[in-house]
Structure 1
Amino acid sequence: MRPSPRLRLLALAALLPLGACSTVVEAVKGPTLAPVGYPAALVPQQQLVLASTTPASANSLWRQGARAFFIDQRASRVGDILTVQIDIDDSAKTTNQTTSTRDSSIAAGIPHLLGLESSLGKILPGGFDPANALATNSKTSNAGTGAVNRAEKISLTIAAVVSAVLPNGNLVIQGTQEVRTNTELRQLTVAGIVRPEDISSSNTIKHTQIAEARISYGGRGDISRVQKTPAGQSLVEKFSPF
Structure 2
Amino acid sequence: MSVRPQPVPMAMPSDGSIFQVSNYKPFFEDQTPVRVGDLLMVQINERTSSSNKEDSSGQRNSSINGSIAGSLALPFFPGAIEKKLAGTSLSGSGTASEQGKSSSNNTSSFNASITVTVIDVYPNGNLLVSGEKQIKINGEHEFVRLSGVVNPRDIKQGNTVESTRVADARIEQLNDGRSRLYNDTGWLQKVFLSVLPF
> Which blocks of at least 5 consecutive residues in structure 2 are unaligned?
8-24, 67-87
2:113 aligned with 1:157, yes or no?
A: yes
2:57 aligned with 1:100, yes or no?
A: yes
2:170 aligned with 1:214, yes or no?
A: yes
C-alpha distance in structure 1 between counterparts of 2:146 and 2:48, whole Å: 21
Q: Name the SS of the counterpart of 1:92 in structure 2.
A: strand
Instruction: Give the Å deviation of 1:214.
Output: 1.6
Instruction: Give the Å deviation of 1:203.
Output: 1.5
Q: Name the SS of the counterpart of 1:225 in structure 2.
A: helix
| 8 Å contact kept, 2:5–2:36 | no
- Letter aligned with residue 171 of structure 1: L
**Percent identity (aligned):** 29
1:70 corresponds, among 21, 28, 35, to: 28
1:176 corresponding residue in structure 2: 132
Count of aligned positions: 160
Q: Name the SS of the counterpart of 2:28 in structure 1.
A: coil
2:147 corresponds, among 188, 191, 202, to: 191
Q: Name the SS of the counterpart of 1:205 in structure 2.
A: strand
RMSD: 3.7
Say if 1:234 and 1:194 are closer, same or farther in 2 by CA, change over 3 A. Answer: farther
Q: Name the SS of the counterpart of 1:164 in structure 2.
A: strand
> Which blocks of at least 5 consecutive residues in structure 1 are unaligned?
1-38, 49-66, 110-128
2:139 aligned with 1:139, yes or no?
A: no
More strand by share: 2
TM-score, normalising length from structure 2? 0.62
1:202 corresponding residue in structure 2: 158
- Letter aligned with residue 39 of structure 2: I
